[in-house]
Structure 1
Amino acid sequence: MLVRYRRTRSVLTVGAVTAALAALAPVAAFAAGDPLRRYAQQELRWERCEAGGPAGFECAKVRVPLDYADPAGRSIELAVSRVRAGSAAKRHGVMLMNPGGPGVQGLTMPVEMEPLLPAEVRDRFDLIGFDPRGVGRSSPVGCGLTADERTVHHPYRDSTFAADTARARSVADKCREKAGDVLPHLTTRNTARDMDVLRAVLGERRISYFGYSYGTYLGAVYTQLFPQRADRFVLDSALDPALAWRGSFRGWAPAAELAFTRWTEWAAARDAGYGLGATAAEVRRAYWELIAHADATPVPTDGGPLDGDAIRSGYGAFVHPEAVTPWIVALRAAAAGGPAAPALPAGEVSDNAAAVTWAVFCGDSRSWPRDPEQYRRDAVRDRARYPLAGDLGATVQPCAFWKPAAREPATAVNNDVGALIVQNEWDPQATLAMAQGMRRAMHGARMVTVAGGEGHGVVVAGPSCADAGVTRYLTTGRLPAADLTCGAS
């Protein structure tokens, strides 16, 4: 399905043009007397990032305040990278990038994104990557966490809740002991402030931006703090800023139920091939019988036995019916005595990434209850309402014990800054409902929804029907006249 955009023309008087330019042209550097001015006066020393890497992939270091409330105090170092615009004549400016997380390194993002962007976009922007504060090569931190402590999803069971609470408290205690002087400053607001220092160091009046997943929230916070310095912002797979962060954890469950229901209907229509049931109700029953069996006798897989809770934790796969159905079939066969099923795919989280993840989640918002019993009640309630994953996002987390509590309130995003939000209909992490929340918060934005689109990521996943709109916006600055929906191929 082709997406058509209406081209509009506008006529401005000389006075209107002058006023518009005044409103949209803050100075690149900071004013005299601003304590951040000394940071803006840094000179970046660009060097080839890696001896064997691409010649055009350059890296540098920039210093920023650890605490923006005390910019004359301690500073930290950030690692920054760039791939220059392909055409000096067509160059529009810089495009900063963030790959999500929080806690994910972004230094290599320019070379990773370059092949995904059309030539007309690459010609116009220096692509700027950076490891956010505390991450990777940017003054990294760690908490010394075990693999279990680095995991976000833990099921609720009454028999294990005391141990779950002890684990959450241990994470908070370890982080405070290992990096308690730095972690309170690893927040989204401070990373957005770092971006603005980087803007000034680069000599730019405004920045463009591409953010994915958590990076959409970071971009939205930047637009709220520095609205006049935001140029062309693309937010891929957006999170609802009103839910940061306790609400985001709990928001995964209702979306999981929708995807699960869609899957049961899909599998029922293909019962001849998969044998899970001829109706959605029969497929649903087959799945929950598998979960009950696995709770009693864990199912053998290539990565070790899985109990019912472990199988449920793979709920995100239900947005891909064609991929998840053979796995469910294999698990049922293994449970019946057949060969071991494929292991549940799982990525390894480093101690550095986990430390920053918890620092951001816990330090961004004061929405986390401090009473463990509140988490117990929420987990029981959410599991009853959303059986597939309700407890996984609602149970106790380290933020219940994080000290100090968030120094600043969560950023209330509510502005008219232009941005383009692109979103798959079936996204297990940045759900459609969350992206719609971002759209409500950013009144000047437009949203392109990929109907039937599956998975986490639109632009980052490769060609889609949203590409033409993204290219048009980045090359011209013009947003669609209204929100749009296009069909997945």
Structure 2
Amino acid sequence: MRRRRLAPLLAVAVIAGLTPTLAAGTAGAAPVPADESGDLGAYARQHPNWQRCGADTPASFECATVRVPLDYRNPTGRAIDVAISRIKAANPAERHGVLLLNPGGPGGPGLGLPWEMDATLPQPVKDRYDRIGFDPRGIGRSTPVRCGLTHEEGTLFRPYRTFDSNVAWARTVADKCRARAGDLLPYITTRNTARDMDVIRTVLGERRISYLGVSYGTALGAVYTQLFPSRADRFVLDSAVDPDRMWREMFRLWGSEGEANFRRWAQWTAERSDTYHLGDTPARVTATFRDLVARADREPIVVGTTPLDGVRIRENYRPMFATVAEAAKWVAILKQAAAGEPTPELPGTSVDEPDISGTWSVLCGDTRWPSDPWRYRVESALDTIRYPLYGDHASGITPCAFWNAPREPLTVVDNRVPTLIVQNEWDSQTPLVAARSMHRALEGSRMITVDGGEGHGVYTYSGNRCADEATTAYLVTGRLPARDVTCQAGPDDRRVASVSPAQPR
């Protein structure tokens, strides 16, 4: 669930030529991270050696590296790198502190975010905060997890009809990760990344941090508030996961909520049959799409130059149905392609191997998944019937079935830290029901819901003025809205489909 892939979650450029280094020094009067594992004072005494991130990036965009314990229960043991970046507050006289940024995932690199978001963050926010990016442990320029997966192995979910081969794939991925990165895997978790955030806070000399996290980043932010409640300042959780469903049940929501999105889309498209020619009733629109999937399963439909079978169509369109106009446009193109007409390429994004390795590390390391393949077989078979768009993918077996047991329990989120949750009503990756659950878990939170809002990601992305202004006001003043806020989606909102099948994201 990550903002770097908006759609599904904010494109972050790959920054070339980063040369972050680290020197010894003093981090000021910030409190040392409190943790049951023991003394972390040596990490607090780091002084990051900030350097320009790259020759092709602005001089104001600086990078460095901090060291953190691999295992916080043994802080005198092995240390690993976390790559960090910053753009300083534009108005030092108004500076409030630091704003850590996370794009989602899990597995999303965030080092480029201060630069990438510089054009979209409101000026009052940039005036008051040093924007801090970082690649979470196991990802990108931080000490990475590399499982050595092939392109074929580098997928997240597979359809029920290939279940037997799916079991072999899941076992192979788990075995490869254990063989190539087994020393890192037990420690690549949301809980440890939150602890890394507190080391970053200490090294930067801050008593508290503010935070903007999207999608999976909302889980990371919530865990931080649970572990370090007195050090959380102004926290914005955009497009929130359900802390009670991490992680398999969060993905299974894509089956049930995908059907709700599809039904809404079918109704909307039927009302515009003269435009899209997909059917003049919801039943006929539904039949058109189902027939296209069935045909593609018999013989792939070539869209542009890309052949798509029924499985790939369901993978690509499941998130897109949350944005009704985009979905109608592309299903109409799919219909044209099936008729042999020339068409543009289907939009989509790929996921590179390091991202998938890091993704599995977090998903499998955070919580114990069922280990019996038979359970996956039964549940994905049932969900094929109940949720035909995507249920079999969402419920199928994954490498987590063969992962070693987590070292720590999943963090239970239950606190009163003031937090702002921002959510679209029609979100393909983190459905509204998930955000409401996060709102209940964070008893001190307020929630902004964009009624009729579509797609994944709200603040500075969807273009909803009401939600943007309320969020900016909180970041600038630190005052939460007096009560929950409902904004209305407007005609000028940017509604961009989430098309990658890979993310919660």
TM above 0.5, yes or no, is: yes
The counterpart of 1:161, out of the listed 153, 160, 163, is 163
Deviations 1:196-225 (A, max 9, x none): 011111111110000011111100000011
Q: Give the structure 2 partner of residue 473 of structure 1.
A: 474
Q: Kindly tell me: are residues 30 and 264 of structure 1, through their superposed partners in 2, closer, same or farther at Cα, counting changes over 3 Å?
A: closer
Structure 1 Cα separation of the partners of residues 372 and 33 of structure 2 = 43
**1:463 shift after superposition:** 2.5
Return the offset for 1:30: 5.0
Unaligned runs of 5+ in 1: 1-25
User: What is the distance in 2 between the residues matched to 1:343 and 1:311?
Assistant: 13
Whether 1:109 and 2:113 are equivalent positions in the alignment is yes
Q: Which residue of 1 aligns with 2:148?
A: 144
The CA distance in 2 between the partners of 1:276 and 1:51, in whole Å, is 50
Task: Find the counterpart in structure 2 of residue 420 from structure 1.
Answer: 420
Equivalent position amino acid for 1:192 in 2: A
Equivalent in the alignment of 1:273 = 275
Residue 401 of structure 1, CA deviation: 0.5
How far is 1:34 from its partner?
A: 4.7
1:45 and 1:250 map into 2 onto residues whose CA distance is 44
Contact 1:216 1:235 (C-alpha < 8 Å) held by counterparts:
yes
* Aligned equivalents of 1:201, 1:388: Cα separation in 2: 47
Confirm whether residue 49 of structure 1 aligns to residue 49 of structure 2: no
Contact 1:116 1:462 in 2 (8 A): no
8 Å CA contact retained: 2:306, 2:346? no
Return the offset for 1:326. 2.4
Measure the CA separation in 2 of the matches of 1:141 and 1:103.
Answer: 10
Partners of 2:446 and 2:34 lie apart in 1 by 33
Which residue is 1:482 aligned to? Answer: 483
**Matched residues in 2 for 1:462 and 1:102: separation?**
22
CA distance in 1, matches of 2:228, 2:154: 33
Counterpart residue identity of residue 436, structure 2: Q
Code of the residue aligned with 2:111 in structure 1: it is L
Compute the displacement of 1:114 (Å): 2.1
Letter in 2 for 1:261: R
1:391 aligns with 2:395: no
3-state secondary structure, aligned to 1:181: coil
Give yes or no for the alignment of 1:97 onto 2:98: no
Tell me what 1:232 maps to.
Answer: 234
Report the counterpart of residue 317 of structure 1 in structure 2: 320
| 1:303-350 deviation line (CA, Å, top 9, x unaligned) | 4322212111121111122112122122223223x2254444332212
Q: Is 2:168 aligned against 1:173?
A: no
Closer, same or farther: CA 30–418 of 1 in aligned 2, 3 Å: closer
Distance in 2 between the 1:213 and 1:332 partners? 32
State how far apart, in whole Å, the 1-side matches of 2:275 and 2:351 are. 36
Show CA shifts across 1:407-426 (max 9, x none): 11111101101111111111
Structure 2 CA distance for aligned equivalents of residues 384 and 84 of structure 1: 53
Please identify, of 272-281 and 368-377, the stretch whose mean Cα deviation from structure 2 is larger.
Answer: 272-281
Is residue 207 of structure 2 the alignment partner of residue 205 of structure 1?
A: yes
Distance of 2:139 and 2:113 partners within structure 1: 14
* Shift in CA distance, 296/223, structure 1 to aligned 2, threshold 3 Å: same
In 2: Cα distance, 1:142 partner to 1:473 partner? 39
Whether 1:461 and 2:465 are equivalent positions in the alignment is no
Match of 2:337 in 1: 334
Post-superposition Cα deviations, 1:167-209, rounded to whole Å, max 9, x if no partner, equal 0111000100111001111100000000001111111111000
Match of 1:209, SS? Answer: strand
Task: Say if 1:327 and 1:341, in contact at 8 Å, map to a contact too.
Answer: no
Question: Are the equivalent residues in 2 in contact too, given 1:238–1:438 (CA < 8 A)?
Answer: yes
Indicate yes or no: 2:441 matched with 1:437. Answer: no
Would the alpha carbon gap of residues 346 and 421 (structure 1) be closer, same or farther in structure 2, given more than 3 Å must change? same
Unaligned runs of 5+ in 2: 1-28, 491-505
Work out the CA distance in 1 between the residues paired with 2:249 and 2:128: 38
Report the CA distance between 1:351 and its aligned residue. Answer: 1.5
- Helix, strand or coil: the match of 1:359? helix
Q: What amino acid is aligned across from residue 243 of structure 1 in structure 2?
A: R
CA contact (8 A) 1:31 1:37 kept: no
* 1:67 aligns to 2:71 (yes or no): yes
Distance 1:232 1:151 in 2: 36
| CA–CA distance in structure 2, aligned partners of residues 341 and 414 of structure 1 | 50
Does residue 218 of structure 1 match 2:220? yes
CA contact 2:89–2:127 (8 Å) conserved in 1? yes
Cα distance, 1:453 vs structure 2: 1.1
1:182 corresponds, among 181, 184, 188, to 184
Give TM-score scaled by structure 2 length: 0.88
Distance 1:334 1:30, change over 3 A: closer
Q: Kindly indicate whether the alpha-carbon contact (under 8 Å) linking 1:303 and 1:344 is maintained by their aligned counterparts in 2.
A: no
Partner Cα distance (2:34, 2:379) in 1: 49
CA contact (8 A) 1:364 1:408 kept: yes
Structure 2: distance between partners of 1:224 and 1:191: 13
> Matches of 2:220 and 2:478 in 1, distance apart?
20
Count of aligned positions? 459
Distance 1:335 1:87 in 2: 56
Contact 1:426 1:453 in 2 (8 A): yes
Amino acid across the alignment from 2:163: F
Q: 1:4-42 deviations in whole A, cap 9, x for unaligned?
A: xxxxxxxxxxxxxxxxxxxxxx95235899520110011
Q: Structure 2 residue aligned with 1:118, among 119, 122, 136?
A: 122
Distance 1:460 1:110 in 2: 13
SS at match of 2:119: helix
RMSD of equivalent CA atoms: 1.6
| One-letter code aligned to 1:150 | G
Contact 2:265 2:321 in 1 (8 A): yes
Work out whether 1:372 is the aligned partner of 2:342: no
3-state DSSP class of the match of 2:47? coil
